[in-house]
């Protein structure tokens, strides 16, 4: 039971009628309902009864251990994919769901053919966030998946930000560069990204020689230990090992190539529509910014006028305070004069003088 768990927490734990091999499990720790399902008493008991649990990534491993579940780092089952014996290495490059800036950068570095594709399923343009899985029947889904794997296997090298493009390239001996530009659900990459060359977009563009697509470096071999352990564990559990990659290869290879092309074209339409919406949104934001800047300019001008007015008032207050100080000083002198002996002696004379006014 290897999987990304999951969108509906109520589906865990599985039925007791299932005898599981719990391996290559990723737990979606970004979803509180999922975490709640996995730390329930029923879940913990289920995993302990079927332990040890193989964690696909270090984040999941740490979570299981923190909750007392015997577990180990198993890696992902895609590391065990066999090569299609009918596919030979060719002189093309595959990029999968990479930023447009990177694609344009790569085109300046090589004369090799670059196949830029998407791993996303066909989308309903009226509901762009909902995969339209009904566009393919079961056979077509296997053919499409197999066609993508063959494309990765035959490539001179591949560059992607998709984990399940990068991991199969390791057993296919296709030099792979993983671009670290994910900002969401990055826990999925913990422990796995270290199995291959992984760089941020800025790191790669600033030092292209770290992964020269004309002469790409060989993949690391660290994955082999995980691969062999996964194969051994699955073989012991099922008693079965077989390479069925050729089972879903149609006689006409253009069949699955057309599926890939249609998928990529639909994705391009989706991207184009989103880019137009984004452009409109940016124009709207720019217009609002212009209005805000204009209002800020008026506010700044008013603030300057207010500041000048406050300076004027401050200056007048200073003059008034200075005059009040003089008046206070003069009043003090008058008071002292009135209290003097000479003022009291001459008071009768002043009174007589006032009579003749």
3-state secondary structure of 254: helix
pLDDT at 329: 85
Residue with tokens 């470096």: 217
Q: Could you tell me the two tokens for 110?
A: 């090589």
The stretch 274-281 carries a mean pLDDT of 63
Please report the pLDDT score of residue 258 as a whole number. Answer: 53
pLDDT for position 124: 43
Mean pLDDT of 160-184: 92
DSSP state of 6: -
Q: pTM (2 decimals)? A: 0.67
| Residue 275 near residue 166 (C-beta atoms within 8 A) | no
The pLDDT assigned to 105 comes to 94
Who has greater pLDDT, 289 or 29?
A: 29
Q: Mean pLDDT over residues 275-279, rounded?
A: 62
pLDDT higher than threshold 70 for residue 9: no
- What are phi and psi for residue 214, nearest 5 degrees? -85, -25
Q: Residue 61 and residue 48: Cα distance in Å, rounded? A: 14
Domain 79-224+239-249: give its CATH code: 3.40.50
Phi and psi of 230, rounded to 5°?
Answer: -65, -45
The whole-number average pLDDT for the span 136-165 is 86
pLDDT for 48-91, tens place per residue? 999 999 999 999 999 999 999 999 999 999 999 989 888 889 99
Distance CA 153, CA 145 (A): 12
Question: Where do the structural domains in the chain lie, given as residue ranges?
Answer: 3-74, 79-224+239-249, 268-357
Per-residue model confidence as pLDDT tens digits over 87-112: 889 999 999 989 888 999 999 999 99
Average pLDDT of the residues of the chain: 83
Q: Which of 1-5, 97-101, 343-347 has the lowest mean pLDDT?
A: 343-347
pLDDT at 123: 42
| Total number of residues shown for the chain | 357
Query: Does residue 52 have a cis bond before it (omega within 30 degrees)?
Result: yes
The β-bridge partners of 199 are: 179
Q: Given this model, what pLDDT does residue 127 score?
A: 45
Burial of 155 (0-12, 13-18, 19+ CB in 10 A): buried
Position 247 confidence tier, pLDDT thresholds 50, 70, 90: low
In terms of pLDDT, which residue wins out, 280 or 48? 48
User: Looking at residues 195-218, what average pLDDT do you find?
Assistant: 94
What average pLDDT does the segment 29-48 reach? Answer: 91
- Give the residue from 127, 99, 128, 77 showing the smallest Cα distance to 233: 77
- Has residue 30 got a pLDDT over 90? no
State the pLDDT at residue 55: 96
Task: Tell me the pLDDT band of 345, cut-offs 50, 70 and 90.
Answer: confident
pLDDT at site 249: 56
Please report which helix (H) or strand (E) contains residue 198, including its range. strand 197-199
Q: Please give the DSSP secondary-structure letter assigned to residue 9.
A: G
pLDDT of residue 283: 75
- Kindly report, residue by residue over 325-334, the tens digit of the pLDDT: 888 888 888 8
Read off the pLDDT of residues 123-146 as tens digits, 9 standing for 90 and up. Answer: 444 444 445 555 667 777 777 788
């Amino acid at each position: 039971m290897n999987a990304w768990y999951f969108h509906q927490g109520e589906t865990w734990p599985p039925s007791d009628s299932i005898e599981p091999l719990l391996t290559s499990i990723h737990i979606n720790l970004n979803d509180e309902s999922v975490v709640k399902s996995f730390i329930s008493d029923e879940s913990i008991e289920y995993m302990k009864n079927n332990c040890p649990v193989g964690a696909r990534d270090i984040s999941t491993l740490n979570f299981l251990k923190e909750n007392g579940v015997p577990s180990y780092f198993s890696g992902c089952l895609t590391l065990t994919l066999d090569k299609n014996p009918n596919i030979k290495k060719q002189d093309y490059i595959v990029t999968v769901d990479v930023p447009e800036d990177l694609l344009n950068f790569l085109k300046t570095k090589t004369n090799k053919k670059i196949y830029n594709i998407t791993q996303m399923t066909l989308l309903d343009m009226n509901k762009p966030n909902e995969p339209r899985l009904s566009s393919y029947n079961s056979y077509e889904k296997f053919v499409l998946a197999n066609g993508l794997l063959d494309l990765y296997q035959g490539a001179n090298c591949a560059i992607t930000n998709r984990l399940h493009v990068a991991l199969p390239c390791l057993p296919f001996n296709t030099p792979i560069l993983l671009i670290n530009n994910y900002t969401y659900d990055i826990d999925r990459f913990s422990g796995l990204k270290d199995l291959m060359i992984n760089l941020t977009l800025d790191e790669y563009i600033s030092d292209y020689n770290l992964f020269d697509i004309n002469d790409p470096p060989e993949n690391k071999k660290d994955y082999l230990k995980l691969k062999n352990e996964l194969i051994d564990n699955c073989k012991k559990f099922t008693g079965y090992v077989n390479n069925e990659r050729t089972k879903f290869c149609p006689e006409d290879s253009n069949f699955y190539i057309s599926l890939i092309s249609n998928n990529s074209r639909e994705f391009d339409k989706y991207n184009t529509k989103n880019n137009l919406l984004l452009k409109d949104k940016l124009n709207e934001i720019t217009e609002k910014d212009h209005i805000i800047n204009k209002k800020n300019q008026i506010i700044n001008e008013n603030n300057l006028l207010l500041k000048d007015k406050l300076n004027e008032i401050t200056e007048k207050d200073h003059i008034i305070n200075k005059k009040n100080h003089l008046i206070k000083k003069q009043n003090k002198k008058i008071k002292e004069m009135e209290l003097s002996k000479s003022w009291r002696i001459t008071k009768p004379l002043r009174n007589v003088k006032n009579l003749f006014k």
